[in-house]
């Protein structure tokens, strides 16, 4: 049987960090990539890199908190690039920081929209053509924070735990369809999000979290985004079938083996 060859990817949070590296890697592998983030200048920088290497991208400056506009966003991608074969739900915000009784409830709700409702709505929007093709990949970039209450960043761990359940839920509902929805814990990666957390005032995030994140940096434990991107790109191809509906950690040996793909 001939293998399906994905042509179009939509990657959120592509202005910097893990999302930027994923967009560049997928473009290098020949996919047309739709780039989504709020910052136009950061999208322009990534689009220029893709263009320089002969790839194709489409920039969509967009705030994922505007969840009602997500169907239209996907419609624009389908019109310009074609149906989405690969969706990488990567964009997320780490805040608001503070105990549950201290944070602004509206900021908390915004985090739920960006980190959880937007990935769900994007997944729903890309599924119809994937179901027609009997092929699709949705990779939800989750976090180890899904597995424990991240004190003073409760919206973040709440959304990541729920995102994992969404991956598992779609895994059950899409069994046997050729569509894989996967949650990946990317490890600790040297990005703006890490900098944002470790530079928060101790009063906001508490001494345990502050010390832990400063320690990741000072001990040289942070990885670069490129190997994470190579694993995500491999999961976006045939290898993703094996992990359908699963919650996986980048440190798992079976996941590390994807670096050879």
Catalytic residue among 59, 142, 157, 183: 142
Among 9, 16, 120, 157, binds ligand NAP (CB under 6 A): 16
> Does residue 13 interact with ligand NAP by CB under 6 A?
yes
> Does residue 95 interact with ligand NAP by CB under 6 A?
no
> Does residue 10 interact with ligand NAP by CB under 6 A?
no
- Between 28 and 212, CB nearer to ligand NAP: 212
3-state SS string for 83-117: CCCEEEECCCCCCCCECCCCCCHHHHHHHHHHHHH
- Between 16 and 135, CB nearer to ligand NAP: 16
Among 17, 98, 119, 171, binds ligand NAP (CB under 6 A): 17
Query: How far is Cα 60 from Cα 54, in angstroms, rounded to an integer?
Result: 19
> Does residue 90 interact with ligand NAP by CB under 6 A?
yes
3-state SS string for 24-40: HHHHHCCCEEEEEECCH
> Does residue 18 interact with ligand NAP by CB under 6 A?
yes
Catalytic residue among 57, 143, 156, 204: 156
Q: Verify whether residue 160 is a known catalytic residue.
A: yes
Q: Which residues contact 120 (CB under 8 A, 6 or more apart)?
A: 166
Alpha-helical segments (H) within the chain:
17-28, 40-52, 70-81, 105-112, 118-133, 154-173, 192-198, 202-218, 225-235, 253-256
The torsion region of residue 171 among left (phi > 0), alpha (psi -120 to 50) and beta comes to: alpha
Among 24, 32, 42, 171, binds ligand NAP (CB under 6 A): 42
Catalytic residue among 32, 160, 204, 246: 160
How many chain residues bind ligand NAP (CB under 6 A)? Answer: 31
> Does residue 65 interact with ligand NAP by CB under 6 A?
yes
Q: Are strands 136-141 and 86-89 parallel, antiparallel or unpaired?
A: parallel
Binding site for ligand NAP (CB under 6 A): 12-19, 36-39, 42, 62-65, 90-93, 114, 141, 143, 186, 188-189, 191-194
């Amino acid at each position: 049987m001939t293998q399906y060859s994905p042509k179009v990817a939509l990657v959120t949070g592509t202005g910097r960090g893990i999302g930027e590296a994923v967009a560049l890697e997928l473009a290098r592998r020949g996919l047309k990539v739709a780039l989504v983030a709020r910052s136009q200048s950061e999208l322009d920088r990534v689009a220029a890199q893709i263009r320089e290497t002969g790839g194709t991208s489409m920039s969509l400056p967009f705030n994922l908190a505007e969840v009602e506009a997500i169907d239209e966003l996907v419609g624009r991608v389908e019109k310009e690039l074609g149906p989405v074969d690969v969706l990488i739900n990567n964009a997320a915000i780490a805040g608001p920081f503070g105990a549950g009784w201290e944070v602004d409830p509206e900021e908390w709700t915004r985090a739920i929209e960006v980190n959880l409702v937007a990935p769900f709505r994007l997944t729903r929007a890309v599924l119809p053509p994937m179901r027609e093709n009997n092929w699709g990949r949705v990779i939800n970039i989750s976090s180890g924070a899904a597995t424990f209450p991240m004190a003073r960043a409760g919206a973040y761990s709440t959304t990541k735990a729920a995102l994992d359940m969404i991956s598992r839920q779609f895994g059950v509902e899409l069994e046997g369809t050729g569509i894989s929805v996967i949650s990946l814990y990317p490890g600790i990666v040297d990005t703006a999000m890490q900098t944002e957390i470790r530079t928060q005032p101790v009063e906001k995030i508490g001494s345990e979290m502050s010390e832990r994140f400063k320690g990741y940096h000072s001990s040289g434990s942070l990885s670069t985004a490129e190997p994470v991107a190579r694993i995500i790109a491999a999961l976006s191809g045939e290898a993703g079938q094996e992990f359908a509906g699963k919650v996986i950690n980048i440190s798992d040996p079976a996941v590390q083996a994807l670096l050879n793909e």
